[in-house]
Structure 1
Amino acid sequence: MSVETVTRVEIMRSGHIGQWAAVAGALLLTGACTQATGLAGVSASSPSTAAATGTPSVTATIPGPIPSAEHQAAEEPPEGGDPVKVPPPKLSKYKYTFPVKGCKTTYQRQLLVLPKTTIWAGQGCSFVAPIGGVVDEVNIQNRWSPATDAGADREGRFVTIVGDDGVRYLGGHLDSVAEGVRPGVRVKAGQLLGRVGRSGNARDTATNLYFAISWKTGPAFWWVRRGMVKPWSYLDAWQTGNRTYSPREETLALRGRLGETPRCAVQCSSKKTPQAGKTPKPRKTRDNDDDVITVNPSTTPFGQQ
């Protein structure tokens, strides 16, 4: 082989070697970049070459336990809108009102001695008709005396009405009776009947209204007038907005079991009359009948309203 030919071969070989060196350098450069950053977000390290020792580094955030609905409500109560006022159910065709108007009141909600309640209210507060009806009895004189404690006089000044529902309502311990209130007069629910006081056997207590529910009887059966039906559930309803909650059915049922004029069973006896030799105090004489208990004789019999 001639020297010229050998020279050409060497030149060709050196050219190929340079090309291969360039390609190898490019591959080495690409590999270095791949190890540093990865390609398209994929790690260049093979899973098989990962370190087998030590705790793996976790970079993702692991969510905690999801709190219960009750826990969330306790921590952050949801904001609600204004309460929706639902009208009370209409339980009867009658409409009632609380018997003390325009004053702050409290009253007993339990049976102590008699099925009645004491509505504590300030002196002079308005006693109003709890329902429309007809005035039945009126007593404008305070006859009660601790010396005798007569049962018929214990409520002092009082007014009773027989409502359009056929039920009798009594307001006692009054300071005064409203002008024009007399037996046979028709009144509307909420109409003034008298003023709260402490007449009768309430003279040593705070001012209050003796409130009782019963049925119509004659004045001789005063123990019926002073209360037969527990009134506080009805007072609760009338005071909180359910003005159609009626004691009519309960009163009718009780009267059916006991009769119109049952015998007195609780606090029936008066104290003994003064002993012989002692001069009793004379009772006040009356020039007219305006200050005595009067009865409306034309009231429709109970249960027929």
Structure 2
Amino acid sequence: MKTTKALIDLLDLKPIEKNVFSGESVTIGSKIVFGGQVLAQAVNSAYRTVQDDRFIHSLHSYFLEAGDLEIPIEYNVAEMRNGGSFSTRRVTASQKGKTIFILAASFHKKENGFEHQTEMNTNIKQPEELLSWTDMVEKFGSFLPKGIKSFLSIERPIDFKPVHVPNPTKPENRPAKEEIWFKLKGDIPKMDLPLKHQILTYISDYNVLNAAFNPNAENHSFANTMTASLDHSMWFFRDFEFDDWMLFSAESPNTYGARGLVKGNIFTRDGKLVASFAQEGLMRPVVK
């Protein structure tokens, strides 16, 4: 999957019957379905059952089983509530009759109100000063561990530029934070707000657990730790466009008991807060 159009097509589910939809899968380098794909496809299915004047403002989900890349995923949407201002949906994703994922999402009609937001960290390098994953492979490919090089070499519709690039041959413990610029590649079509929400949801599952690894990076990494997303929540705030770089800013308040918690915010380049997220992930050290 190389283009923004291919990503949009992936998220555009096939209707099966009323409130039931089917989606295909594309690998991002793993042997199982990428969690961000299931999240975004579930949001797509829920959006298809609400009024056009209502937009997702929050989602809460659990990953229950690993998804099989070769089997279509069925999304079944239950209409839990249709109120005067809010609509609530429950989505169950399954393969061969087994539930692999559940999501609860709430939609709200646009209303006016007072506002404030947390500030984006502006004391960081801008995207033009940083290397993308593709740049890293081209510049340091011969020095990268095989697994890292293979993952970074996969063609994606998104460019990622981490603010801090660790040395994979000499890892160091760092603060439990992670900041990464991201941008869609190529020509970006005009999008309505529901589609932007789906794509942002897809991207939000990339890079999350990095912040939870950083304080113990000298001894632990994805190479010697079993990892899996356990749950994922998001809150959507302001409208935005994908025409410039955006900042994924995460911090991990805790790792304990083979689980790591990460929370954070997504900003436009000019500092507008468009969404917040939280995820807990399995981080089980592999015993050799």
Q: TM-score normalized by structure 1?
A: 0.22
Q: TM-score normalized by structure 2?
A: 0.23
Question: Which of these two proteins has the greater Rg computed from alpha carbons?
Answer: 1
